[in-house]
Amino acid sequence: MKIFMNYKKRSFLRSTDHKISRDFLLLNKYSNDIEFYYPTSFLHDFCPLLLELYNTILFKLTRYTKITFRKLSIRNPKMWVGLEFNSTFNIVQSAGYLPVFSGNAGVLWEYTFFDLKEEIYIINEEKENIRNIMNTREQAIAYVLNKYNKVLINLRSDRAVEFAKSKFPDYTNSFINLPFLLPNTQSVENSVIEVKYNKLLNTHVIKFLFVGSQAKRKGLPNLIKAFQLLDERYLKMIELNVVSSFSDGIVEIPQNNSIIIHGMLPHNETLKLFKECHVYIMPSQTESYGLTYIEGLANGCIIVTRDKYPQIEFTENGKFGYMVDSTNPHSIKNTIVEILNLEYIHLQSYAMMSKRKFDECYALDVVCQKWYNAYKSLI
């Protein structure tokens, strides 16, 4: 199988999407019948890179000078696929952008599609705009389903897949939920989880962890407000660890012995914190996915997500974790109190279920097999 990956090759920033597009090369280790090819043209390579550098500089200038500069944008070049291309590749994979013509090649398209009613945090004045966006996305999916002979649309969410199938009942086999490939994330042994939670019998301090470069978007301001609402007796039972570069602006954090600011740490140091902490909490204001939730699962943390899809699927709608209204500090505070009042044996039980969720759904071998099966279905 020869697969063309329509992603940009390089990035100045710590781009999750860019990194993950390269992680597909790992599938070569799992099967000798897959080959990945990436764009080599100047338009695909250096143009987006130079533009990213330009906009990054403007972002920094805006942040420190408070002066707004005009950013530039460029559409990721579409692949003008001809007969020669189609005789070379079996599959075109792309996120958002589509080949103009695919011929006999199958198309694996990564997209986002949710029911409007799930996004209840949207203020009323914006709902009409969002409806227009959803209608546009529905039209886009209809266009893709009709344009290509063989297509799979990866929606990265079971709920989104169900919703799409209800909208397009004649194409139920065209929607799929394929998780990200996470080669550097492995689950800890059960014994590690047992030791971590048994220590609570002596320390009686439950360690919470927040990780996010964009601290404001990831919900740290409301998490801090929730922390300030806690009674003194609960503050003695909790430690909040914050890992962030605060790239989207400084967050005011009060002097508190229970809050530890680590700044931005190397990945291996962050993983050590995941192994030490009992609860991973990230009440994001907006979030397309949230890979750090999966790292929390792998390390036996109790997960606290915002109450939206797809994040609530990480805990199976709160079966072994918690969901909060990320716009409401009182909702976050009430969840923290509920966790602090749990018996330690229940905390450990949730942690074990988190780890099992990772092993069954997000472990590298499992995800590689899902992607391989998806590719085979397009041949």
Rounded mean pLDDT, 215-226: 95
Q: What is the largest CA-CA distance in the chain?
A: 71
pLDDT band at 119 (very low <50, low <70, confident <90, very high): very low
Distance (Å, whole) CA 161 – CA 166:
9
Helices (H), the chain: 16-23, 27-30, 42-65, 83-88, 124-147, 158-167, 190-198, 200-203, 220-228, 232-235, 267-276, 291-298, 329-340, 344-361, 364-378
pLDDT band at 71 (very low <50, low <70, confident <90, very high): low
Q: What is the pLDDT of residue 82?
A: 38
> Higher model confidence: residue 184 or residue 276?
276
Q: What are the residue boundaries of the structural domains of the chain, listed by start?
A: 2-39+77-181+364-378, 190-361
Output phi, psi for 123, to 5 deg: -70, 155
DSSP 8-state symbol, 301:
P
Residue type, 278: H
Residue in the block written with tokens 């004045």: 125
Taking only the tens place, the pLDDT of each residue in 161-183 is 998 999 999 999 999 999 999 88
Q: How does DSSP assign 72-106, residue by residue?
A: ---PPPPP---HHHHHH-SEEEEES---S--TT-E
Report percent pLDDT > 70 for the chain. Answer: 75
Q: What sign results for the dihedral spanned by CA atoms 369, 374, 375, 379?
A: positive
> Higher model confidence: residue 288 or residue 297?
297
Could you give the 3-state DSSP secondary structure of residue 306? strand
- CATH class of this structure's domain 190-361: alpha beta
Taking only the tens place, the pLDDT of each residue in 314-342 is 999 999 999 999 999 999 999 999 999 99
Asked whether the domain spanning 190-361 has the same topology as the one spanning 2-39+77-181+364-378, the reply is: yes
pLDDT band at 118 (very low <50, low <70, confident <90, very high): very low
Q: 280: closest CA among 306, 301, 311? A: 301
Taking only the tens place, the pLDDT of each residue in 251-286 is 999 888 889 999 999 989 999 999 999 999 999 988
Return mean pLDDT, the chain. Answer: 82
What fold does the segment set 2-39+77-181+364-378 form as a domain? Rossmann fold (3.40.50)
Q: What is the pLDDT of residue 297?
A: 98
What is the helix (H) or strand (E) element at residue 292, kind and residue range? helix 291-298
Q: What is the pLDDT of residue 177?
A: 95
Please tell me the least confidently modeled range out of 79-83, 296-300, 301-305.
79-83
Distance (Å, whole) CA 358 – CA 179:
11
Taking only the tens place, the pLDDT of each residue in 78-113 is 443 333 455 578 898 887 666 666 667 889 988 876
User: Inter-axis angle of helices 344-361 and 190-198, to 10 degrees?
Assistant: 160
Q: 336: closest CA among 319, 353, 355, 322? A: 322
